[in-house]
Chains A and B, each alone.
Chain A
Amino acid sequence: MIAPTAGNAVLVGLLIVVWAVGWGLFVGRAWQLYRYLRLGRDEDRTQRPLRRIRDELVIYLGQRKLLKRPYYVRGLAHALIFWGFLIITIGTVDLFLSGVFGFRIPGTGTAPFVWTVDLFAIAVLLSIALAVVRRLFFPPPRMHVALDGYLILAGIAFLMLTLLLFETAGLVAGVAAQGFTAPPLATLITRLWPSPFPGESSAVVYGAAWWGHLVGVAAFAAYLPQSKHLHIVTTLPNVFFRSQRPRGALDLITKIEERETFGAGSVRDLSWKQLLDGYTCTECGRCSDQCPALATGKPLDPQKIVLDVRDQLLHEGHRLVRDGADRGTPPARYGPTKTEELWACTTCAACVEACPVTIEHIDKIVDMRRWLAMMEGDVPPEAQRSLTNIERAGNPWGQPPDTRADWAKDLGVPTFAEKPDAEWLYFVGCAASFDRRNQKVARAVVEVLRAADVSFAILGTEETCNGDPARRIGNEYLWQTQAQQNIETLRKYGVTKVIASCPHCFNTIANEYPQLGGSYEVVHAVQLVDRLVREGKLRMRDGATESVAYHDPCYLGRHNKVYDAPRDVLGAMPGVTTVEIAPHHRERGFCCGAGGGRMWMEEKVGQRVNHRRMDQILAVDAATPVTKVASGCPFCLIMLDEAVGAKAVQERIKPIDVMELVQARLIARS
């Protein structure tokens, strides 16, 4: 047995000193970061523990969110380095124990373990080579390439190699002499040496690898918490404590009437989990890659939002810990263009979907907007008008509320007051009630529901805005007022089942009304049609042969994972070929630009988001000509209508709602 410390007190002492320094620096910094984290407000993130464990296995250990298009190769390289690092960690413990106490973890030093180390060494080194080459020669546009990354890559390579040498030399020196075939990398190394670690030289390599590894680990530990590489530690809790709310639901401000401050006016007002997000960001830029605002030249970069929170916390943390009354700078004012960044967000969740470490970008942005809107009254003037309109007229357009049901006048659609035993409530929404183009969609929904003999009624003029734009603009109070009013009306009529043709109504009623005690079975119209088609209650006849591109609305798709229902409905239409707006479809669908209250704000900077979306549709159209672009959202429809006009293709490509396509193919009931 070659024990590198060999019971030598000086060597043991040296090891203790090196490790004490390395791990001491780690613990010191970790304690500091923890104290800063505790500045954040409390938030319970322990509900549904089993799901959290499952997430940990899938997302942390399984690296699920890294292995996504278009990042398969890079994602796999990362996963290999990560899994290799876990192997290294086992090896490090073994190496330490065997060197100091002469005790080996069962299983290590055997052929399977040495083969595992060897194969992972190959995979890790190749992956690191790929990462280095990428950083040097093809740096991804949104990635911050800095010395930090190289140091970490070099560190991992060093630890991997020293472990490999330790295992290999140990084997060769007969530490665990067993007759088995040497694994490939070990074989290569032994070939490079004239005579593979003969006698004493084997002990030298073994000892050097041992010392090199353990000193390397201490250095790595000391450096880690200063680096973005800390994510290897923080991702563990960050995934565990990720939000288990439906993605489409924002956090409720409880007891709003009793509070004195609203939203994030200080880093103290962000929850500890939001601060942990900052520690966890590894600056990979996948969120930035997917952001429609950034892609069209807006000042917003979702990655910067997260890093700003981290930087501000590190900058102010010391002061704030010492002085409990100090609130520091409001995060919404941290940086010269911060408010413009915040107002540019469409809350489309492309960033949230893309983030491999489950960072929650939207919640931070909305918390800062809440502070701007409710504490400062600082809202873009056009958005302010829409909020006032919701307050006074119950719809953001500011249309007379008593005309809300005018679209249905000649259809004889019953209201709940007239038909209290109706099974379903059709919650029409402001867009389909007041916008001329979308009134046609409401009429289509009515016709389709009638064809399938669905028992339904509307609220008529008793309906009021669901509050979604107000909540996303940051006026939580107005959202609660609107929501409570609707919940009260639904309670009055005993409504239990709700159909919405607008994904924003659908999302807020399904996912957010339960926060205020309004729980219903909520479906988007397209989901109900999908169900009715399956059950044979709705049949569609041959229509025109046409290619229809499908545009995923963010609040139907990414926020609620309704990807298949609209495609299945389109697929059930004889003559219709569905065209995917690849690669920006399903999870990577590109926003129309109207979400997050952006519908009610001017868009003056950069390209209009809906024009970029139309560019993507036209690129698909160039390969597979399409005659229609279908969606399931009134705001997408408005945005796409504007975009086909701007691109002068309105004669060729017609934006349409899926429900209108269904309506055109209905087989009338006999």
Chain B
Amino acid sequence: MKILVCVKQTPDSTVRVKVAADGRSVDASQITWAISPYDEYAVELALERKDADPSTTVAVVTLGAARGRDALRQALAMGCDEAILVSGQGAETLQGSAVARALAKVVEEAKADLVLCGRQASDDDQGLVGLALAEALGWPHVSTITKFAPADAGPAGSFNGIDVWKEVEGGHEVWRASGPAVLTVQKSEKDPRYPSLPGIMKAKKKEIPEKDVAALGIDARAPSLEIVKMEPPPARGGGKILKDGDMKQTAAELVRLLREEAKVL
């Protein structure tokens, strides 16, 4: 089985994101970039499949700025077999639906049997690309999955459809896909693996082919959506500690504050 995992490079969760001077984008100067967390789970799920069946190959693709190469190296270090970077003029600002159409070309070229994506990216939380990709490919799609496995024990290496565990309120459902499918990942059972040092060293040396997004021949019309404004959340005020006075006074003061200042009573 050949699995293709689509990942997006987003600001690492340890980064405090700042709004840029234009008020409508993120200041990228101080950002540490990483694979978006759900996408990392997708990589882990794919690699767990490869652990169980070594004939599986796992490829990883990202579309966007050239720095995405680092995200691909991380995935290679974790154990992916190959990586594809789709970049070039306009790649970074491509709209989600166009990204999906571009990725569909990559999936077709790579002849993948299965495509995994994170359920949504940690930067825009749109959750669009996986679904749109399924649409562009004309493949079925299952969302918020936590596990998948070959449906039955067919002849080794052959593809006989897969069972997919999908998380639902209070439990899970098992769906069966008879052929190629796009799955968007909620979580893997294990945390994404820690790359071994030889893995990191090997990934450093590995050739990562770069495709020009323009060469994929997709229809990337002028964006129909644009961000017009970004605002950070309001700064949190400091807490208040009531120390003075006896318990009765303190309680009375607390009630007063809750009523008059916080206006919750």
Distance in angstroms between the alpha carbons of A235 and B196 in the assembled complex: 37
**Residue B12 interfacial (CB < 8 Å):** yes
Q: Assuming the A-B contacts A392-B34, A393-B32, are A373 and B12 also in contact, with contact meaning beta carbons closer than 8 angstroms in the complex?
A: no
Interface range on chain A (Cβ under 8 Å from partner): 20 to 34
Contact A393 B196 (CB under 8 A): no
Distance in angstroms between the alpha carbons of A616 and B220 in the assembled complex: 70
Contact A403 B14 (CB under 8 A): no
Pick the contact of B16: A374, A376, A384, A400 (CB < 8 A).
Answer: A400
Q: Assuming the A-B contacts A377-B199, A402-B30, are A389 and B14 also in contact, with contact meaning beta carbons closer than 8 angstroms in the complex?
A: yes
**Residue A257 interfacial (CB < 8 Å):** yes
Contact A373 B194 (CB under 8 A): yes
Q: Assuming the A-B contacts A260-B198, A392-B32, A393-B32, are A377 and B193 also in contact, with contact meaning beta carbons closer than 8 angstroms in the complex?
A: yes
Considering the complex, give the chain B residue whose CB is closest to the CB of A381: B191
Pick the contact of A375: B32, B190, B197 (CB < 8 A).
Answer: B197
Considering the complex, give the chain B residue whose CB is closest to the CB of A374: B197
**Residue B222 interfacial (CB < 8 Å):** no
With both chains docked as a complex, state the minimum distance between the C-beta of B239 and any C-beta of chain A, in angstroms.
12
**Residue A387 interfacial (CB < 8 Å):** yes
Contact B194 A377 (CB under 8 A): yes
Q: Which residues of A contact B200 (CB under 8 A)?
A: 477
Q: Which residues of B contact A374 (CB under 8 A)?
A: 196-198
Distance in angstroms between the alpha carbons of A388 and B13 in the assembled complex: 11
Contact A398 B197 (CB under 8 A): no
Contact B12 A375 (CB under 8 A): no
Q: Which residues of A contact B199 (CB under 8 A)?
A: 377
**Residue A399 interfacial (CB < 8 Å):** yes
**Residue A469 interfacial (CB < 8 Å):** no
Q: Assuming the A-B contacts A257-B201, A398-B13, A398-B14, are A384 and B32 also in contact, with contact meaning beta carbons closer than 8 angstroms in the complex?
A: no
Chain B 182-194: CB-based contact to A (< 8 A → 1; otherwise 0): 0000000011011
Q: Which residues of B contact A384 (CB under 8 A)?
A: 191, 194
**Residue B195 interfacial (CB < 8 Å):** yes
Contact A375 B14 (CB under 8 A): no
Q: Which residues of A contact B198 (CB under 8 A)?
A: 260-262, 374-375
**Residue A109 interfacial (CB < 8 Å):** no
**Residue A379 interfacial (CB < 8 Å):** yes
Considering the complex, give the chain A residue whose CB is closest to the CB of B77: A377
Contact A403 B16 (CB under 8 A): yes
Pick the contact of A393: B14, B190, B194 (CB < 8 A).
Answer: B14
**Residue A401 interfacial (CB < 8 Å):** yes
Q: Which residues of A contact B14 (CB under 8 A)?
A: 389, 392-393, 398-401
With both chains docked as a complex, state the minimum distance between the C-beta of B227 and any C-beta of chain A, in angstroms.
23
Distance in angstroms between the alpha carbons of A385 and B14 in the assembled complex: 11
Interface residues of B in 3-34 (CB under 8 A from A): 12-16, 30, 32, 34
Q: Which residues of A contact B191 (CB under 8 A)?
A: 381, 384-385
Chain B 159-199: CB-based contact to A (< 8 A → 1; otherwise 0): 00000000000000000000000000000001101111111
Chain B 54-84: CB-based contact to A (< 8 A → 1; otherwise 0): 0000000000000000000000000000000
With both chains docked as a complex, state the minimum distance between the C-beta of B181 and any C-beta of chain A, in angstroms.
29
Q: Assuming the A-B contacts A392-B34, A399-B14, are A477 and B194 also in contact, with contact meaning beta carbons closer than 8 angstroms in the complex?
A: no
Q: Which residues of B contact A388 (CB under 8 A)?
A: 194
Contact B16 A379 (CB under 8 A): no
Pick the contact of B12: A257, A262, A387, A393 (CB < 8 A).
Answer: A393
Question: In the complex, which of the residues B15, B196, B197 has the most CB atoms of chain A within 10 Å of its own CB atom?
Answer: B197
Contact A379 B197 (CB under 8 A): no
How many pairs of A and B residues are in contact by the CB < 8 Å rule?
Answer: 50
Distance in angstroms between the alpha carbons of A466 and B191 in the assembled complex: 26
With both chains docked as a complex, state the minimum distance between the C-beta of A26 and any C-beta of chain B, in angstroms.
43
Interface range on chain B (Cβ under 8 Å from partner): 10 to 19
With both chains docked as a complex, state the minimum distance between the C-beta of B67 and any C-beta of chain A, in angstroms.
14
Distance in angstroms between the alpha carbons of A504 and B211 in the assembled complex: 47
Contact A379 B194 (CB under 8 A): yes
Distance in angstroms between the alpha carbons of A257 and B201 in the assembled complex: 8
Distance in angstroms between the alpha carbons of A94 and B187 in the assembled complex: 78
Distance in angstroms between the alpha carbons of A377 and B77 in the assembled complex: 11
With both chains docked as a complex, state the minimum distance between the C-beta of A407 and any C-beta of chain B, in angstroms.
15
Q: Which residues of B contact A398 (CB under 8 A)?
A: 13-14
Distance in angstroms between the alpha carbons of A392 and B71 in the assembled complex: 12
Distance in angstroms between the alpha carbons of A289 and B13 in the assembled complex: 43
Distance in angstroms between the alpha carbons of A392 and B40 in the assembled complex: 15
With both chains docked as a complex, state the minimum distance between the C-beta of B249 and any C-beta of chain A, in angstroms.
21
With both chains docked as a complex, state the minimum distance between the C-beta of B264 and any C-beta of chain A, in angstroms.
26
Q: Which residues of A contact B12 (CB under 8 A)?
A: 392-393
Contact A262 B30 (CB under 8 A): no
Q: Which residues of B contact A262 (CB under 8 A)?
A: 197-198
Q: Which residues of B contact A389 (CB under 8 A)?
A: 14
Chain B 223-245: CB-based contact to A (< 8 A → 1; otherwise 0): 00000000000000000000000
With both chains docked as a complex, state the minimum distance between the C-beta of A406 and any C-beta of chain B, in angstroms.
10
Distance in angstroms between the alpha carbons of A261 and B34 in the assembled complex: 26
Distance in angstroms between the alpha carbons of A392 and B16 in the assembled complex: 12
With both chains docked as a complex, state the minimum distance between the C-beta of B74 and any C-beta of chain A, in angstroms.
10
Considering the complex, give the chain A residue whose CB is closest to the CB of B201: A257
Distance in angstroms between the alpha carbons of A213 and B197 in the assembled complex: 59
Distance in angstroms between the alpha carbons of A387 and B197 in the assembled complex: 13
Question: In the complex, which of the residues B34, B194, B195 has the most CB atoms of chain A within 10 Å of its own CB atom?
Answer: B194
Distance in angstroms between the alpha carbons of A261 and B196 in the assembled complex: 10
Contact B194 A400 (CB under 8 A): no
Q: Which residues of A contact B196 (CB under 8 A)?
A: 374-377
Distance in angstroms between the alpha carbons of A260 and B197 in the assembled complex: 9
Distance in angstroms between the alpha carbons of A375 and B195 in the assembled complex: 9
Contact A377 B30 (CB under 8 A): no
Question: In the complex, which of the residues A389, A392, A398 has the most CB atoms of chain B within 10 Å of its own CB atom?
Answer: A392
Contact A400 B15 (CB under 8 A): yes
Distance in angstroms between the alpha carbons of A385 and B191 in the assembled complex: 9
Considering the complex, give the chain A residue whose CB is closest to the CB of B13: A398
Considering the complex, give the chain A residue whose CB is closest to the CB of B15: A400
With both chains docked as a complex, state the minimum distance between the C-beta of B193 and any C-beta of chain A, in angstroms.
5
With both chains docked as a complex, state the minimum distance between the C-beta of B14 and any C-beta of chain A, in angstroms.
4
Considering the complex, give the chain A residue whose CB is closest to the CB of B200: A477
Distance in angstroms between the alpha carbons of A375 and B12 in the assembled complex: 25
Distance in angstroms between the alpha carbons of A378 and B190 in the assembled complex: 12
With both chains docked as a complex, state the minimum distance between the C-beta of B184 and any C-beta of chain A, in angstroms.
23
Interface residues of A in 376-421 (CB under 8 A from B): 376-379, 381, 384-385, 387-389, 392-393, 398-403
Considering the complex, give the chain B residue whose CB is closest to the CB of A257: B201
Considering the complex, give the chain A residue whose CB is closest to the CB of B79: A377
Question: In the complex, which of the residues A260, A379, A388, A403 has the most CB atoms of chain B within 10 Å of its own CB atom?
Answer: A388
Q: Which residues of B contact A378 (CB under 8 A)?
A: 194
Pick the contact of A477: B30, B34, B197 (CB < 8 A).
Answer: B197
With both chains docked as a complex, state the minimum distance between the C-beta of A263 and any C-beta of chain B, in angstroms.
9
With both chains docked as a complex, state the minimum distance between the C-beta of B180 and any C-beta of chain A, in angstroms.
30
Interface residues of A in 538-559 (CB under 8 A from B): none
With both chains docked as a complex, state the minimum distance between the C-beta of B78 and any C-beta of chain A, in angstroms.
8
Contact A387 B34 (CB under 8 A): no
With both chains docked as a complex, state the minimum distance between the C-beta of B194 and any C-beta of chain A, in angstroms.
4
Q: Assuming the A-B contacts A257-B201, A402-B30, are A377 and B15 also in contact, with contact meaning beta carbons closer than 8 angstroms in the complex?
A: no
Distance in angstroms between the alpha carbons of A384 and B12 in the assembled complex: 15
Q: Which residues of A contact B30 (CB under 8 A)?
A: 402
Distance in angstroms between the alpha carbons of A21 and B16 in the assembled complex: 76
Distance in angstroms between the alpha carbons of A256 and B197 in the assembled complex: 10
Distance in angstroms between the alpha carbons of A388 and B14 in the assembled complex: 10
Distance in angstroms between the alpha carbons of A377 and B194 in the assembled complex: 5
Interface residues of A in 255-282 (CB under 8 A from B): 256-257, 260-262
Residues of B participating in the A interface, judged by any CB pair closer than 8 Å? 12-16, 30, 32, 34, 190-191, 193-201
11 CB-based A-B contacts, threshold 8 Å:
A256-B197, A262-B198, A373-B194, A377-B195, A387-B194, A389-B14, A392-B14, A393-B14, A393-B32, A398-B14, A401-B14
Residues of A participating in the B interface, judged by any CB pair closer than 8 Å? 256-257, 260-262, 373-379, 381, 384-385, 387-389, 392-393, 398-403, 477
In the complex, the 4 A-B pairs of residues with the closest C-beta atoms, listed nearest first: A393-B14, A400-B16, A374-B197, A377-B194
Apart from A373-B194, A384-B191, A398-B13, list 8 A-B contacts with CB within 8 A: A261-B198, A262-B198, A376-B196, A393-B14, A393-B15, A398-B14, A400-B16, A401-B14
